Amino acid sequence: MKATLFTLAVAFAAAGVSVPVFARDALPQATQQVLALKDGSTLYVFRDGKMAKEDRYGRAAYLKQGEVLELADGRKVPAVGNEVA
């Protein structure tokens, strides 16, 4: 009985680890543009015009409505939406 429970626990742990891999793989298909920001963050622009921001460590970052973001090339872009990438 203990071996069965241990096997199930390991199987669920392995399945839980693999789910984010598939979610991350879908990001390029969902985005229209990926823009590098001056501070090292990344801005994702989706097909519907909404945006998501990821900090330089790959974590989702809060995006204020109307916030002006400076791109790595010096252009400024107003934020639209606060989606999660």
Q: Distance (Å, rounded) from C-alpha 8 to C-alpha 71?
A: 47
Angle at 42 between CA 71 and CA 52, to 5 degrees: 105
Residues listed for the chain: 85
Q: Is residue 61 part of a domain?
A: yes
Q: Is residue 85 part of a domain?
A: no
pLDDT at position 41: 94
Q: Distance (Å, rounded) from C-alpha 8 to C-alpha 80?
A: 44
Q: Is residue 84 part of a domain?
A: no
Of the pLDDT bands very low, low, confident and very high (cuts 50, 70, 90), residue 20 is low
Q: Distance (Å, rounded) from C-alpha 30 to C-alpha 20?
A: 15
pLDDT beyond 80 at 6: no
Q: Residue 59 belongs to what domain range?
A: 2-78
Count structural domains, the chain: 1
Radius of gyration for the chain, computed over Cα atoms and rounded to the nearest angstrom = 18
Q: Is residue 83 part of a domain?
A: no
Q: Is residue 16 part of a domain?
A: yes
CATH number at residue 56: 2.40.10.300
pLDDT tens-digit readout, 52-62: 999 999 899 99
